[in-house]
Structure 1
Amino acid sequence: GIEQLLHPQIGAAVEHTQKFWNNPYNRVAVSMEPIMAVIYADDPYAAGDRVRQFHERINGKDHLGRKFNALDLEAFYWAHETFRRGVQNLVEQYSQETFADEQRRQLQHESATWFSYYGMPMNMVPESHEANVEYRRFMVENVLEMNPSAERAIDLAINRQPPRPESVPRAVWPLAKLALVPVTEMMSLITIGELPEDIRQKFGIPFSKDDQKHLDDIRNVIKTFEGPVPDPLQYLPVYDAIRRDRIDQRETFVDTVTYTGLTLGKEVARRTIVPFVKGAQQSAKTIRSILK
């Protein structure tokens, strides 16, 4: 997120709409579903068109009076590039897989195919992994800049101050936030620590040796448990598509049991937890109206 927000056009677009800051968790969830659909949909070009159309009306002027447009090719491709880097970083730092230059070249090739589904011009797309390394260096040195959106996101991460989700009533948020301290600490550490080092250095984003040691510990723990984790948990939320399109149509007994359990769990959540949360929200509104 921060890596994207440091692009002036993306930062301005987020600040302009304000929807992200009003409910960041929901905005991330809403954004990721159509983006993942571009990869897993039966018609990736139609899915890509929908993503592009989401951005058509997002334009205006930033805090310095410069025009921005969410369909600016440089900005649109930079957002895409952060997803590619995220995939690479996830494999390299949080899995037991090795990721040599051959795999990096393959990832760049697949990333270009993925970007082609959006129907955007392809002249920004580096032709190789090596060209992409130079592209990233140019962007960090010459294009990325601090802006209100990026500054706000960095401040939230450094100070461990997660915004309140809309689904959590204000009355219970202080207690919930206290209970979430361990998760907040870990997510803040990952958010800052997984930024590329050249970005942290350019913008003076603090990350100490102790922070790095804690991050390495988290990585090692996840690597240790990543192997035995059943496929349905590793590949959420796209396991349905993987399961449907498997060539050999085989899966382990553990995978089958896990998938069935997750399916039942989602149905239980839909029938019980969701109504409970809605009821709690309505109760909070009633209490507030009485107190007024």
Structure 2
Amino acid sequence: MTELAENGQRSDALPLGPDSLVWKYFGDNRMYLIGPRPAVLQNMLAELGQGVLDHSVFFADTAARVKRSIPPIMMTVYGSDDDAEGHEVRDFHRDIKGDMPDGRRYHALDPETYFWAHATFVEQVLYFADTFVKRLTDEEKERIYLESKTWYRRYGVSDRPMPADYAGFQRYWDRMMDQIVIAHPTAKYGVGYVTKGFPRPKGVSPTTWRVVYPLFNPVAAFLTTGGMPPRARDLLELPWGPRRERAYQAFAAAWRSAPVNWTWNRLPMTVRYNGFARVGYGRR
């Protein structure tokens, strides 16, 4: 089902490391501002959403799935070619297979399915940086994409669906959003709390949650819905409108402003980056 890819640096890609833009942005703690964008978009591919529906603990214990998935994905980026963290991610998916409602077979390691999951992370980096840090130049977008090719090849799966350059990735992304993704039940579940309200997290006392809930829910709904592409927002029937869009754009512009960036860049690494990124930067 897979074609093992060489891990070594190739001439059509750029390296990951402390000077790369993927490192600069992927582990930035401001990433929380985009909400669950990549996870929801992943599950809007029917085959991927079905695999989560059939095999994952996502519905029973969402936090457990996130806790298991994030570390090896992060270390695929902030580790090295020799660490093989990407192979661990790949191997999580070997037995995720089954039947679609129409009788077609699916497998998580199908190249088209696996690359879509990765593409949502690449787009996450691009969207986050361009929306909440600075407007990216075409050269910076190309650089991020070429670095992401090295990232993808660390999984050791077929890179057949991977576009050659950023322009190709843009075409791929537009086609997926316009023609392929659907409002799969898994994706709808992932954003359902936008309208229903978020449940009390484990470890938070009922008393504390009653105090936090009135503020947390509207902010979380705003970030979740605002952080979705318009097409996905429409498919998932998320409440939005011109007034909220203006508020979201103003919110994003404030984060991109020079004073905020100046202040952020002078905060300690422990504030600015998650632990996985700090491990990577610390050993280089």
Measured against the shorter chain, the TM-score band is 0.7 to 0.9
Higher mean C-alpha deviation, range 82-91 or range 13-22: 13-22
* Percent identical: 23
Which residue of structure 2 lines up, in the alignment, with residue 59 of structure 1? 97
Change (3 A) 1:50 1:68: same
- Asked if residue 240 in structure 1 is aligned to residue 276 in structure 2, the reply is no
Which residue of structure 1 lines up, in the alignment, with residue 188 of structure 2? 151
Aligned-residue offset at 1:236: 1.5
Matches within 5 A, 1:77-116: 77-95=115-133, 97-116=134-153
How many Å separate the matches in 2 of 1:166 and 1:60?
Answer: 32
RMSD value, Cα: 2.2
Which residue of structure 2 lines up, in the alignment, with residue 227 of structure 1? 262
Residues 91-136 of structure 1, C-alpha deviations (whole Å, 9 max, x = no match): 11111x3301111111111111110111111110011111111111
How many Å separate the matches in 2 of 1:173 and 1:58?
Answer: 37
In terms of fraction of residues, the more helix-rich structure is 1
How many Å separate the matches in 2 of 1:207 and 1:53?
Answer: 39
- SS of the equivalent of 2:201 reads coil
- SS of the equivalent of 1:119 reads coil
Q: Retained in 2: the 8 A contact 1:105–1:129?
A: yes
Q: Retained in 2: the 8 A contact 1:38–1:114?
A: yes
Residues 14-42 of structure 1, C-alpha deviations (whole Å, 9 max, x = no match): 11124012221332232111101101124
Q: Retained in 1: the 8 A contact 2:115–2:161?
A: yes
Change (3 A) 1:181 1:13: farther
Matches within 5 A, 1:21-36: 21-36=59-74
- SS of the equivalent of 1:228 reads helix
Aligned-residue offset at 1:137: 1.7
Equivalences, count: 240
How many Å separate the matches in 2 of 1:8 and 1:146?
Answer: 8
Larger relative contact order (CA 8 Å, sep ≥ 6):
2
Runs of 5+ unmatched residues, structure 1 = 246-292
How many Å separate the matches in 2 of 1:197 and 1:184?
Answer: 21
Aligned-residue offset at 1:165: 3.3
From 249, 273, 276, give the equivalent of 1:216.
Answer: 249
Aligned-residue offset at 1:58: 1.2
Matches within 5 A, 1:1-292: 1-43=39-81, 46-95=84-133, 97-157=134-194, 159-168=195-204, 172-173=205-206, 176=209, 179-202=212-235, 204-224=237-257, 225-229=260-264, 230=267, 231-237=269-275, 238-245=277-284
Runs of 5+ unmatched residues, structure 2 = 1-38
Q: Retained in 1: the 8 A contact 2:90–2:155?
A: yes
AA aligned opposite 1:21: F
Which structure is larger by alpha-carbon Rg, 1 or 2? 1
Normalising by structure 2, we get a TM-score of: 0.76
Q: Retained in 1: the 8 A contact 2:52–2:58?
A: yes
Normalising by structure 1, we get a TM-score of: 0.74
AA aligned opposite 1:244: R
